[in-house]
Amino acid sequence: MSSASGAAPPGRPGRHVAGPVEPDALAVEGLQVSYRVGGRDLLALRDVSLRVGPRQAYGLVGESGSGKSTVALAVTRYLARNGRVSGGTISVAGTDVLALRGERLRRLRAETVSMVYQEPGKALNPSIRVGRQLAEVFEIAGARRREALAAAEDALTRVQISDPRRLLERYPHELSGGMLQRVVIAMALASEPSLLILDEPTTALDATVEAEVLDLVSSLREELDTSILFISHNLAVIAKMCDRVGVLYAGELVEEGSASEVFTEPRHPYTVGLLSCIPRRGLRKDHGRLDTIPGFLPAPGSVLAGCIFAPRCGLVEAQCRLSEPPLAELGNYRRSRCYFPGRALEVGSRGAGPGEPAEAPAGRPPVGARAPLLGLRQVSKSFSARHEQLHALVGIDLEIGSGETLGLVGESGSGKTTLARAVLGLSAPDEGSTIELNGVPLAGSAGRRTGDQLAAVQIVFQNPDSALNRRHSVRRILRRALARSAGPRGMDREERLAELIGSVRMEPRQLGLRPAQLSGGLKQRVAIARAFAGEPALVVCDEPTSALDVSVQAAILNLLVELQARRNVSYLFISHDLGVVRYLADRIAVLYLGRLMEVGPAEAVFSGPQHPYTEALLSAVPSLDGQRRGRIRLTGEIPSAASPPSGCVFHTRCPRRLASGICESAEPPLLEVAAGRTMRCHIPLDELAQLQREPPAEAPAVPGASANGSSPL
């Protein structure tokens, strides 16, 4: 273990068993993987070496295209048909994986290595009951059919599923994402593998569910002797879950070290860039622009003479472009592929750092003083399924001022998208609902709104891939949007097009391209340009950055802030990422089961006291900042909107439910509790403040993460 090149550092202290040295759970040496595309071999991983010691959790972070999933697939020998390991070695628990064939490979998969991946809904066979699929694992290990089913039931109990017997009879599509991911985890852990690979296991889940699943993994890790390779784009999740971290960029490991050190004292400019483009530490748009990483990921297979990050690096020197820096040992099991690891942190202070004030604040009237642009009064929306009435929105009263950003948050199923669709006129609200724009009532469906009203309310969708017609060029997409609006006089079409594309920081020469030729970030810029073509008063942004990498997200958020400052447009901003909402929003509205739980100025809502639901949402988010408050956990699933709970709809999951029983019997009204803040809770604001200062008694200390202090940053 003392060889200089990339030995795994000791695992968690105090857990070493005396006796013969255990082999690393995973040892990857000089791994090269290439994909054959169009007759050429494109390198997806170059010379990747990493070790995961026994009982260690190793986090692999990187943006899309960095090759992090390729590592996982190479380890399990499940590369796509055109993928090939072209160099290096992989050994799992001492076994050379690349040499295995047929039966021995199957045994390795059955006994030693397990994998959980991103979309739990797709990971299970849709036409076989959950119980059968889980039981298979035990049958492989030699159990009889009936024993296997019993073992499956036990396995479900272990992942904290309350009614395992009933669950065994279900088909995958009958379960929620969180439940499915538990089943998949139970399945992966059933064989008590030496190595568990988690590939973005919570990316497709709600923050509250994500928190539950992460807690589950942490506690199972304590129980079992399993090492973890945790792959994620989410730095905060990695920081919470892992002992060690490796940062992948364009198929190369650029930095490695203990989680606490890498995230506090990064030694590679790319890590620094990644960390600084996340909106955090309570950063708001008035404080300044977000940092971005300029440029793009190099095309797969491109060959650079020097450092692979040099084209995007703020610290680049002549040497960096000439020869590639080695992955240098920095001591204390830290490695960095940079010639100037000590200077990496300077990147943040160069360029557009947080010191530079955004152009936004100048001349903006304070929140509350703005004239209301959009007014929602008693907006309800119900859908009728065959036997039941489903209330997706119930009596929503909300205003958005002009030039204001209203952040709309809540779990999936809370009604965020229904509200957005009602505002856009895509689905008409129920009778008796009023939606006003500048004091003029809007028709329920878009078809009956006037052209000006339609132009005034626009949308930017989550996924720019499906939102843009891929057969049309950017020019045609934007020209159609412009044709519907009058626009300033005296400008011909080409001028307006050029101005529009310029406003989203793109070049006129990109007008000729089709969406497929643009990166995700550029596509989203086109979608934003399209929304702004008709000089809208309100733009509904439905998770506009969720499908993008963090470095791209920062640039898009900067663009949205800039456009708002210049055009005084209002945003209805829907996002599950509370850091993003905090950065962008002036006010926040919290939805639960179609009801507003809380509305107020963003800073007041975030700094608290909050509605217990808001509190739960906030404490579910793993943070890099280490401002760990008393975490409260939501348990159970969001109830069905067809049969909402009695009284306060949140009482079934509320950790601060009152003993008096009033929460179960009476629904609290949405009352003004402070200037500009309304809340729907039986507990008075000052009592909530009191409660939230002290951590709740039942809040479990988070095992695993706190054991070696990987989290406080």
Partner 1 sequence: MASYLVKRLGLAVVTLVLLSMIIFLAGQVLPGDPGRAVLGNFASAQSVRVFDHRIGYDRPFVTQYWSWVSGIVRGNFGISYQYNSPVAPMIFSGLWNSLKLALLALCIIVPLSIGAGVLAALNVGRPLDRIISILGLSGSTVPEFVSGIFVIVIFAVVFKLLPPTADSGAGAGFFTQLDHLVLPAIPLVVEFFGYISRITRATTVEALDSDYVRTAVLKGLRRRTVIRRHVLRNSLLPAITVIASQTGYLIGGLVVIETLFQYPGIGDLIYNAAKNKDFPMLEAGVLAIGVIYLLATLAADLASSLLNPRVRIDATR
CB-wise, 151 or 347, nearer to partner 1?
A: 151
Distance CA 138, CA 146 (A): 10
DSSP 338: -
- Least gap, CB of 187 to partner 1 (angstroms): 7
Q: Which of 299, 385, 675, 701 binds partner 1 (CB under 8 A)?
A: 385
Distance CA(142)–CA(135), nearest Å, equals: 11
Q: Does 396 bind partner 1 (CB under 8 A)?
A: no
Task: Report the distance separating Cα 665 and Cα 646, nearest Å.
Answer: 6
Cβ of residue 181: shortest distance to partner 1, in angstroms?
12
Stretch of residues binding partner 1 (CB under 8 A), selected from 184-192, 300-308, 455-463, 522-530: 184-192
d(CA 634, CA 652): 10
CA dist., res. 50 & res. 57, Å (int)? 12
Q: Judged by CB, which is closer to partner 1: 164, or 172? A: 172
Smallest separation, CB 168 to partner 1 (Å): 14
Q: How far apart are CB 78 and partner 1 at their closest, in Å?
A: 6
120 vs 1, 176, 213, 214, CA distance in Å? 37, 9, 12, 14
Six-digit token pair at 90?
């992989």
Cβ contacts of 693 within 8 Å, gap of 6 or more:
none
Q: For residues 238-297, which are near partner 1 according to CB under 8 A? A: none
* Widest distance between CA atoms in the chain: 84
Given candidates 1, 30, 40, 78, which one binds partner 1 under the rule CB under 8 A? 78
| String marking each residue 105-124 x if it binds partner 1 according to CB under 8 A | -xxxxxx-xxx-x-x--xxx
What's the one-letter identity of residue 136?
A: E
DSSP type of residue 632: -
Round to whole Å and give the CA distance between 664 and 91: 56
Report the residue number, 171 or 333, with the smaller CB distance to partner 1: 171
- One-letter-per-residue 3-state SS of 165-213: HHHHCCCHHHCCHHHHHHHHHHHHHCCCCCEEEEECCCCCCCHHHHHHH
Nearer to partner 1, 22 or 111 (CB): 111
Q: Rounded to the nearest whole angstrom, what is the least distance from the CB of residue 175 to partner 1 in the complex?
A: 12
H helix runs in 97-176, sequence order: 102-111, 120-123, 130-140, 145-158, 164-168
Q: Is 76 in the site for partner 1 (CB under 8 A)?
A: yes
Residue 79 interacts with partner 1 (CB under 8 A): yes or no: no
User: Footprint of partner 1 on residues 136-165 (CB under 8 A)?
Assistant: 136-137, 140
Nearer of residues 113 and 557 to partner 1, judged by Cβ: 113
| Nearest distance, CB of residue 101 and partner 1, angstroms | 12
Nearer to partner 1, 110 or 662 (CB): 110
Of 3, 5, 127, 332, the one binding partner 1 by CB under 8 A: 127
Give least dist CB 107 to partner 1, A: 7
Helix 493-503, helix 520-532: angle, nearest 10: 130
In the complex with partner 1, the residue whose CB is nearer, 183 or 552, is: 183
Q: In which residue are the tokens 């942190």 written?
A: 345
Side chain identity, residue 579:
G
DSSP line for 542-584? ESTTTTS-HHHHHHHHHHHHHHHHHH--EEEEE-S-HHHHHHH
Nearer to partner 1, 79 or 477 (CB): 79
Closest approach of Cβ 115 to partner 1, in Å?
Answer: 5
Stretch 191-230: interaction string toward partner 1, x if CB under 8 A = x---------------------------------------
Q: Using CB under 8 A, pick the residue from 26, 33, 92, 187 that binds partner 1.
A: 187
Least CB distance from residue 509 to partner 1, whole Å? 37
Distance in Å, CB of 137 to partner 1, minimum? 6
Using CB under 8 A as the binding criterion, the count of chain residues that bind partner 1 stands at: 33
Beta bridge partners of 539: 458, 571
Element (H, E) at 521: helix 520-532
CA 418 to chain centre: 21
Stretch that binds partner 1, among 76-84, 346-354, 488-496, 671-679 (CB under 8 A): 76-84
Distance in Å, CB of 353 to partner 1, minimum:
42
Of 81 and 471, nearer to partner 1 (C-beta) is: 81
Cross-strand partners of 252: 249
Q: Does 173 bind partner 1 (CB under 8 A)?
A: yes
Q: How many CA atoms lie within 13 A of 698 on its CB side?
A: 7
Distance of alpha carbon 654 from its chain centroid, rounded? 24
Asked whether position 176 contacts partner 1 by CB under 8 A, the answer is no
Q: Which is nearer to partner 1, 111 or 317 (CB)?
A: 111
Residues near partner 1 (CB under 8 A) are: 76, 78, 81, 106-111, 113-115, 117, 119, 122-128, 133, 136-137, 140, 171, 173-174, 184, 187, 191, 385-386
